[in-house]
Chain A
Amino acid sequence: MESALPLQGIPRSPSSLSGWTYQERIDRLRTTKMRHTEEKWQVIGSMDMDDHAIILPPADSRQIVQVTSGSGFTMTDVLLKEFIPTSNHPSGGFFGAKACGENFRTLLAMHPTYVDPVSSLAGGYMVNFISYRNPAWNPDFDFSHLHEDHQKYRLHHGIGAVQHFCQDMTIGLELGWGGILEKIRRFRGINTDGEAQELYDGLEAMVLGIQDWIERHVDAAQDAAAVESDPHLRQNLNEMADINRRLVTDPPRTFREACQWMLWYQIIGKMYNMGGALGRVDQFLYPYYERDRREGVLTDEEAIFHLACHFLMDTSYTQLGGPDETGRDRTNELSYLMLEAAHRLKIPVNVGVSVGRAIDPGLVRRGVEIMFSDKTGIPKFLGVDSTSEGFARNGYPIELGRQRAYSGCHWCAIPGREYTVNDCVKVNLAAVFDVALREMISDTTIRPGTAELSVRFERHLRRSIDIVRESLDFHIDHMYRVFPELHLDLLCHGPIERGRDASHGGVEFYNLCVDAAGLATVADSFAALEQRVEQEKRLGWDTLLGYLDGDWTGPDGERTRMMMKNIPRYGSGGSRADAYGVEIARMFTRLVKEKPTPKGFQLIPGIFSWAANILMGRDVGPTPNGRHSHAPISHGPNPDPGFRKDAAPTAMAVAVAAVQPGYGNTAPLQLELDPGISRDAEGRAKIVDLIRTHFELGGTQINLNIVDRETILKAHEDPAKYPDLVVRVTGFSAYFASLSPEMRQMVVDRIVAEE
């Protein structure tokens, strides 16, 4: 067993000799987490993604590899070297439900246990199963006919996308692992076709692996208890053993047991395919909380502690508060306790606070208070009215829209009933623009101009979205035979009942997310061309192309770049670039909603780059807005840093509200505010008003950072000196020191340019 602490001789503060306060335990666990994180920095280096709370495997079983993450990022990863997956294909890979389930079971059998005597919950995960997939795609399913267009438009096309939808946790909490196994076996007898049988093989292997892994934790906790000298920790370890002995088969009964069950499910998801949708924890845990409180077996302090123990091991996305189907607010005590848990921890957790007409305004007020006191970019804010009303515009009843739960970076999904590939498909507007621009300039039969450019841009944008449609159909045709959603299938309505993977007809709704990225880059480029080339005639189209080809080198290169950059930009308010921003967002929305995929799957547009705007920028040469070759494209729907001298958050909020696609998927506003803004309650109230007004104008989500300029600059110089500085990078929060230099630069630029 891996143990977080030496089991004996733990130094104590004098006040805790007679036991530990919950805060002492949280502090201790936080220190352990910092140690894990620092170790990760040493071994893995930078991590430009969520802090998934992964723990490194023991030193002697580590194998370091380069892999592609679930979101398409290349990263360094650490594998358990003992585990070698069994291939079922000449390529050396393993594909399909049975192979995936069985290999995963084998991995679980080798996966070390993790019991921290200070925590109330057992379990921790150390490896990403997807990093063993090599090749990740089954070469029998050939999509080389799409390659050329994927390359041409630099599409993040979604073929091979995993997870990014949300389970219904109540299924698991009601059935327990034993009940889930029974359910699989019952339906195995009903759905006897090959596809179903294969899926059941995979699901059953996964559940058996999980049960076995939990059982090993029971032993580990008992062993630890046997040698633990502190009576309180010993008791805690024994409790963990007892709880988990039951949870191998039975559903949870108490709040602590429910937290433990939820943690098992979540870390298995992380391990299997980096899944991490928590959804509305304050709703599905509420019955346990309420019952335990009523029976006097749980205090709020203890509830906060269990939630904190969960967050320490799983930083997944969760929504606090929000409406039920009828629109009535469901904010409850747990919503506040979860916020409190995040506040006590001050680590990157991804809690989102609901804000809406009918929603308890106390929650957003408390959220803003915590935001300013912790300065960790936590929580984020969710405009639940615009997302649910927007979703209804896809032809669904609004009641369904209200059920969509915030459960990922910028996204929501109906728990257990909707397959979405959220955040996996990105149309790089800058790349599409570049194709259109070059095509126009090289066409000698026409007179170039922004009107002509706009026509061509639309044509290529339509084409790129058509390619996305084809790609998504291809994905849905094949994914279940490559790497099915075994983990999420377990807690969805349909996959087990129908014998179909969620990616292949297992669930009720298919609403595939297609995001645009690089909006400001393109809006500013259009406006710069219109002003400098067309109206002021300061340079010709060919000359411009020369500068682009040379990345603004040459005698007048830098000056010309500045000239193109220095125009009233998107976000400044009332500018031509603002108008282009709106026009492009509407065009994108119209083209996405024009038709479903050829196989009939509906698409939902959003505007979000995730942190991949750096990656996507590397794919695009210089753009007419004065951007250098390979520099990041603009972030989400945000204006570029420096868009206004006063960097007014209201100006940003107005601009971003005006480009919302409006179909329930988001275009999140990213704001960096100086801590000086709200030293008192009056200042904080203004921030609450800022948030609410953005949502009233149609905004969908807000990611906020409270960072002071000096701290971030110092941390940028020497990140190691600020190991626990947490920033909101985009939809996710992370330790600043964990980020790559490039990603840190992006965060710094946003903050410093806005001074």
Chain B
Amino acid sequence: MNSSGVVFNIQRFSIHDGPGIRSTVFLKGCSMRCFWCHNPEGRHFQPELRYFPGRCIACGACVEACPNHAHELREGVHTFFREYCLVSGECVQTCYPGALELNGRQMSVDEVLEEVLRDRPFYESSHGGVTLSGGEPALAGVFAREILERCHAGGIHTAIETCGDSPWHSLEALLPWTDLVIMDIKLISPEKHLRATGRPNDRILANARNLAQTDKPLLFRTPIVPTVNDDPEEFIRIASFLKSLIDTRASGNNQESDAGGIAFELLPFHRLASDKYASLGMEYSAASLDPPTKSTMCALAEIATTLGVTTRIR
């Protein structure tokens, strides 16, 4: 039981992705293309090259190293031609200043466990644990399942962060070893969802309903993105959907914790990801969006409360 998968980051002392002090393992690959995505490194399933021009000292080592001539040095200036890059990683080995980085590397479950277990004492004292994020963990198949299973068996609290856009059976397969499911609900209107994320949302909403019928603690999150879902009309739909999930669960069992173990959070959009897009050579379509104001966030939270959904702003 030691499969492998592509991981683009393991962040220790992660404190916004579930209870306590956690390590978040970011898996590569997601089906959605939300234009404001805060983690574009997680989009593609395969590793890619990141280039940070600010760190380049124009030494030319990458020019020598690249088997496919993706790097050029002209008059002391380095240029990277992404279209020629086959992601051999040879240049990264020679780029000591760290201007070139591989985004994502193949890791075995053992390797992941070795890294996340370093903070085990902190998980224990803070009731924290390990969160699988992405990308989309439900699309990482057996790799994700094995990480969760091994952590769970070792008594470590586990959480997954999912966009919900996967076949139900893929998500369901993770649940026996998952203590908390964190899921994004971005939009309810189908056309708007398709436009903003590149994917329809019927499967996502169905998965959310299915989850509500389990007894798993659930944390739903809505990123509040101006022009996408910060208008009361759309937000009322989101909050009402949440309310229906809470009601579903209430009728199904008699959980005692808040809203039957279903919590709701709002996350304000921010522009901190713009450097990530640049380093990946991706276009950042949200560059001109302003983060929502505090008063917008509060007004939306107020709406949710009125509809009977307790909300927290992150």
Chain A residues with a Cβ under 8 A of chain B? 556, 558-559, 562-563, 565-566, 573-574, 644-646, 648-651, 653-654, 677, 683, 685-686, 689-690, 692-693, 696-697
Q: Is B15 an interface residue (CB 8 A)?
A: yes
Q: Would A558 and B57 count as touching, CB distance under 8 A?
A: yes
| Distance between Cα atoms of A573 and B120 in the complex (Å) | 13
Closest to A578 in B: B118
Point out which of A566, A574, A648 has the most chain B C-beta atoms below 10 A from its C-beta: A648
Does the CB pair A646–B21 fall under 8 Å? no
Inter-chain CA distance A644–B118, complex, in Å, is 14
8 A–B contacts from the bound complex (CB under 8 Å): A559-B59, A562-B96, A573-B12, A573-B115, A650-B21, A689-B21, A689-B122, A690-B126
CB distance from B124 to the nearest CB of A (A): 8
A651 and B121 CA atoms in complex are apart in Å by 12
Known: A646-B12, A648-B12. A559 touches B118 (CB 8 A): no
| Residues of A with C-beta under 8 A to B115 | 573-574
| Contact of B114 with A by CB under 8 A | yes
Closest 10 CB pairs of A and B: A648-B12, A689-B126, A562-B96, A648-B13, A563-B96, A693-B125, A650-B13, A559-B59, A650-B119, A566-B96
Please determine whether A685 and B13 come into contact, CB atoms closer than 8 angstroms.
no
Q: Flag whether B280 is at the interface (Cβ < 8 A).
A: no
Q: Does the CB pair B98–A690 fall under 8 Å?
A: no
* Chain B residues whose C-beta falls within 8 Å of the C-beta of A565 in the assembled complex: 96
Contact A651 B118 (CB under 8 A): yes
Least CB distance, B63 to chain A, in whole angstroms: 13
Establish whether residues A650 and B12, one from each chain, have CB atoms under 8 Å apart when the complex forms: yes
CB distance from B123 to the nearest CB of A (A): 9
- What does DSSP make chain A's interface, helix, strand, loop or mixed? helix
Number of B residues contacting the other chain (C-beta, 8 Å)?
23
User: With a CB–CB cut-off of 8 A, which chain B residues contact A683?
Assistant: 15
- CB contacts (< 8 Å) of B98 on chain A: these are 562, 566
* Cα separation A467 to B121 with both chains bound (whole Å): 40
Q: Which chain A residue shows the least CB distance to B57?
A: A558
Q: Are A654 and B119 in contact (CB under 8 A)?
A: yes
Instruction: Let me know if A696 and B96 touch, CB within 8 A.
Output: no
CB of A689 within 8 A of CB of B96, answer no
A689, B13: Cβ atoms under 8 Å? no
Check A685 against B15 for contact (C-beta < 8 Å): no
Closest Cβ–Cβ distance, residue A684 to chain B (whole Å): 11
B118 and A573 within 8 A (CB) = yes
A697 touches B15 (CB 8 A): no
B261 nearest CB across to chain A (Å): 17
Interface residues of B in 223-264 (CB under 8 A from A): none
List the B side residues contacting A685 at CB < 8 Å. 126
- Determine how close the nearest CB of chain B comes to the CB of A651; give it in whole angstroms: 5
Chain B 6-55 interface residues, beta-carbon cutoff 8 Å to A: 9, 11-13, 15, 20-21
Q: Which of A565, A574, A648, A650 has the most CB of B within 10 A?
A: A650
CB proximity to A under 8 Å, residues B96-134: 96-98, 114-115, 118-119, 121-122, 124-126, 128
B266 CB within 8 Å of chain A: no
Interface: B61 (CB within 8 A): yes
| Residue of A with least CB distance to B21 | A686
CB distance from A23 to the nearest CB of B (A): 29
Residues of A near B59 (CB, < 8 A) are 556, 558-559
- In the complex, what residues of A have CB within 8 A of residue B20's CB? 686, 689
Q: How far is the CA of A565 from the CA of B9 in the complex (A)?
A: 21
Q: Which residues of B contact A566 (CB under 8 A)?
A: 96-98
Q: Are A562 and B97 in contact (CB under 8 A)?
A: yes
- Given A559-B59, A563-B96, A683-B15, are A654 and B118 also a contact pair (CB < 8 Å)? yes
Assuming the contacts A558-B57, A693-B125, asked whether A686 and B15 have C-beta atoms less than 8 A apart, the reply is yes
In the complex, are the beta carbons of B57 and A692 less than 8 A apart? Answer: no
Residue of A nearest to B99 (CB): A562
Are B126 and A686 in contact (CB-based, < 8 A)? yes
Q: Is the CB of A559 within 8 A of B119?
A: no
Q: Chain A residues near B122 (CB, 8 Å)?
A: 650, 653, 689-690, 693
A692, B124: Cα distance in complex, Å: 11
Tell me, rounded to whole Å, the shortest Cβ–Cβ distance linking A686 to chain B: 5
> Inside 8 A of B96's CB, which chain A residues have their CB?
559, 562-563, 565-566
- Shortest C-beta distance, B142 to chain A (Å), equals 25
How far in angstroms is the closest Cβ of chain B from A647? 9
Most buried by A among B11, B13, B98: B13
Shortest Cβ distance from residue B90 to the other chain A in the assembled complex, whole angstroms: 14
Complex interface: chain A residues within 8 A of B11 (CB) = 646, 648
- Taking CB atoms, residues of chain A closer than 8 Å to B125 are 689, 692-693, 696
State A653–B15 Cα separation when bound (angstroms): 16
Give the distance to chain A from B41, nearest Cβ to Cβ, in Å: 12
| Chain A nearest CB, measured from B221 CB (Å) | 16
Q: How far is the CA of A649 from the CA of B15 in the complex (A)?
A: 11
Complex contact B114–A677 (CB within 8 A)? no
- With A and B bound together, what is the CA distance between A645 and B52 in angstroms? 14
A706 to chain B, nearest CB (A): 14
The answer to whether B15 and A693 have CB atoms under 8 Å apart is no
- CB of A572 to closest CB in B, whole Å: 10
Q: Which residues of B contact A689 (CB under 8 A)?
A: 20-21, 122, 125-126, 128
Inter-chain CA distance A216–B187, complex, in Å, is 77
Complexed CA–CA distance, A573 and B11 (Å): 12
Given the known inter-chain contacts A574-B118, A654-B118, A686-B126, please indicate yes or no for A562 contacting B13, CB distance below 8 A: no
User: Does B61 lie within 8 Å of A693, measured CB to CB?
Assistant: no
Instruction: Tell me which residues across on chain A come within 8 A of B61, comparing CB atoms.
Output: 559
CA distance A322 to B126 in the complex (A): 23
With A and B bound together, what is the CA distance between A686 and B17 in angstroms?
Answer: 13
Cβ distance B147 to chain A, nearest Cβ, rounded Å: 18
- Asked if A574 contacts B126 (CB within 8 A), the reply is no
B278: min CB distance to chain A, Å: 17
Q: Known contacts being A558-B57, A689-B21, is A697 close to B121, with CB within 8 Å?
A: yes
Known: A566-B97, A689-B128. 4 other contacts (CB 8 A): A648-B12, A650-B12, A653-B122, A689-B126
* Complex CA distance for A736 and B118, rounded to whole angstroms: 35
Q: What are the residues of chain A within 8 A of B13 when measuring CB–CB?
A: 646, 648-651, 690
Give the Cβ gap from A211 to chain B, nearest Cβ, in Å: 53
Q: Which residues of B contact A693 (CB under 8 A)?
A: 121-122, 124-126
User: Which of chain B's residues has its CB closest to A685's CB?
Assistant: B126
In the bound assembly, the distance between CA atoms of A686 and B12 in angstroms comes to 13
Query: Which residues of A sit under 8 angstroms from B9, Cβ to Cβ?
Result: 645-646
Task: Tell me which residues across on chain B come within 8 A of A654, comparing CB atoms.
Answer: 118-119
Within the assembled complex, what's the spacing in Å between the Cα atoms of A110 and B227?
74
Contacting residues, chain B, for A696 (C-beta < 8 A) = 121, 125
C-alpha gap A724/B203 in the complex (Å): 55
In the complex, which residue of chain A has the Cβ closest to the Cβ of B115? A573
